Amino acid sequence: MITSIDLCLRKSGYLAAILFLSTGMLLAQEKSQQIKDLLNKYHEYGQFNGSALVADDGELVFSDGFGMANMEYDIPNKPETKHRLGSITKQFTAALILQLVEEGKLELDKPISTYLPNYKGPAANVVTLHHLLTHSSGIPSYTSFPGFFEEQSRDPSSPAEFVKVFADSTLQFTPGEKFAYNNSGYFLLGHIIEEVTGKSYEQVLQEKILEPLDMDDTGYDHHATILKNRAAGYEKNGNEYVNAPYLDMSLPYAAGSMYSTVEDLYKWDRALYEDEILSAESKELMFSPLMPDGDGKYGYGWSIGDLPVGTSGDSVSIVAHGGGINGFNTLIVRVPEEEDLIVLLNNTGGTMLREMAMGINNILHGEKADMPKRSIAMEVLPVFAKDGVDAGLAKYRALKADETYGLKENEMNQIGYQLLQNGKTKEAIEVFKINVAEYPDSWNTYDSLGEAYMMDRQRDKAIANYEKSIEMNPDNQNGKDMLAKIRAQ
């Protein structure tokens, strides 16, 4: 028998449940709108053009596209748009290595020569898989070799042939001694996967990760393949866009040749909370803070660190990785303790994805996100390029006084190098001088200014700035190399 009291209690329980669900839905909708407003503003200011996805407590709260996947045909970016991932590829390579370790086919403490007997050079018998996975091998990164992008990046090559490009290079430091981000290491890991399995890296990736997780919109990118919903890659020249230079995808290989969508990366994120792809022990290794990487620690294919929340000094622990490849800039941020996820895939070259992720993270935690400002760097670039130093400096001073504009170190550095590459050496020097004045605690600003002075044959000033850069960052190997080169002349 149901009494009137029972009926009232039951109804009140239903109402409480409905109220709870409704409140949760309203909060999710509010967060979604705030995220959209934030990314719309970044897009309006030319600082984001791509696809984005956000999950809160494991539940999808936002997925959308901004700007154009193809500017020539006015095809918009969508959640299902396929973007090149760049170095986000490395976490998949690391996962394949750990799977083969679980199968007993690889051992992390074995050297390269165990699996690549034909690999010759200083690293062969002293660099282990662990060193390759943690960027602690000391092998120089082939993408930093002089002339690589100008002379080699367009030419296809097999893994066995291409490793010869760096195999005989002198190690930059004793393996395991320190962290130095390195594409050569992950290229070698892909080659090892092929040698051990007898299959191509692409095939192993497909069979061991993509097919089991139904990641149908993810794969190894090939220029020749007709790929539905593929985004074109662009780069910014001031406030204008140009097509990104061609890159043969056999060269990024296991270090950076994958494409995916934000929605497939959500599948990947969810799978990492289960034990289907990797055992709990392997995941603990992958996400262990094994090597210091500057801002935090590096595990196997992932950076481990913190993301601030609001202005209180609080933060959340994250595992994350970015990617940069011709025309694309990408970021995946996971918050394992809260099962939050932020995926940002941008197809117009380098931009402020970490800053955007910080804003989104604030929204997820009920905090206010700082809205972006227009870019001083992108506004002054065409003035320096077309009208010279005096006009460029005048424009800079005017924009600096305008609160709607903001200055960012990396953007100023970027336009300085654009000017330098276009033969505008005097203009580049002034841009780098601005960066030194605005960011005097950054070793990289002095390194860039030193390079510009070197290009302008101002030897003493080049030496002074390189010395200052090395004093601030003793691990600045590029600065040491350039300083030695200048002094040898």
Q: What number of helices (H) and strands (E) belong to the chain? A: 18, 17
For the full predicted model, state whether its pTM sits above 0.75: yes
pLDDT digits (tens, 9 = 90+) for 127-159: 999 999 999 999 999 998 888 888 888 899 999
Q: Are 483 and 451 within 8 A, CB to CB?
A: no
Mean pLDDT across the chain: 93
How much is the pLDDT for 230? 98
- Report how far apart, in Å, the C-alpha atoms of 95 and of each of 141, 211, 261 are: 21, 14, 19
Q: Are 65 and 234 within 8 A, CB to CB?
A: no
In which band, very low, low, confident or very high, does the pLDDT at 165 lie, cut at 50, 70 and 90?
A: very high
More confident residue, 237 or 166: 166
Averaged pLDDT, 88-94: 98
pLDDT digits (tens, 9 = 90+) for 24-35: 667 789 999 999
**Beta bridge mates, 275:** none
DSSP E strands in 66-220: the ranges are 68-70, 75-76, 83-84, 219-220
The whole-angstrom separation of Cα 396 and Cα 407 is 10
Q: Are 296 and 303 within 8 A, CB to CB?
A: yes
**Residue 212 pLDDT more than 60?**
yes
pLDDT digits (tens, 9 = 90+) for 271-287: 999 999 999 999 999 99
How much is the pLDDT for 311? 81
The whole-angstrom separation of Cα 428 and Cα 445 is 12
The whole-angstrom separation of Cα 190 and Cα 87 is 13
CB burial class (10 A; 0-12, 13-18, 19+) of residue 198?
Answer: exposed
Query: How big is the CA angle at 122 (ends 119 and 123), to the nearest 5 degrees?
Result: 65
How much is the pLDDT for 27? 77
3-12, 197-206, 264-273: which range is least confident on average? 3-12
The whole-angstrom separation of Cα 326 and Cα 336 is 30
pLDDT digits (tens, 9 = 90+) for 396-415: 999 999 999 999 999 999 99
Averaged pLDDT, 105-133: 97
Terminal CA-to-CA distance of the chain, rounded, Å? 100
Sequence-distant contacts of 120-126: CB under 8 A, at least 24 apart: 120/167, 120/168, 121/167, 121/168, 121/169, 122/168, 122/169, 122/170, 122/171, 123/167, 123/171, 123/175, 124/167, 126/171, 126/175
How much is the pLDDT for 152? 86
Averaged pLDDT, 69-94: 98
The whole-angstrom separation of Cα 62 and Cα 60 is 6
Q: Where are the domains of the chain?
A: 86-303, 374-488
Averaged pLDDT, 41-54: 97
Q: Are 283 and 302 within 8 A, CB to CB?
A: no
In which band, very low, low, confident or very high, does the pLDDT at 79 lie, cut at 50, 70 and 90?
A: very high
The helix or strand, by DSSP H or E, that contains position 223, with its residue range, turns out to be none
> Under CATH, to which class is 86-303 assigned?
alpha beta
How much is the pLDDT for 54? 98
CATH superfamily of 374-488: Tetratricopeptide repeat domain (1.25.40.10)
**Residue 244 pLDDT more than 90?**
yes
What share of the chain in percent tops pLDDT 70?
94
**Residue 1 pLDDT more than 80?**
no
**Residue 305 pLDDT more than 90?**
yes
How much is the pLDDT for 322? 97
Q: Are 297 and 318 within 8 A, CB to CB?
A: no
Q: Are 204 and 189 within 8 A, CB to CB?
A: no
Averaged pLDDT, 11-27: 59
83-87, 202-206, 476-480: which range is least confident on average? 476-480
In which band, very low, low, confident or very high, does the pLDDT at 318 lie, cut at 50, 70 and 90?
A: very high
In which band, very low, low, confident or very high, does the pLDDT at 294 lie, cut at 50, 70 and 90?
A: low
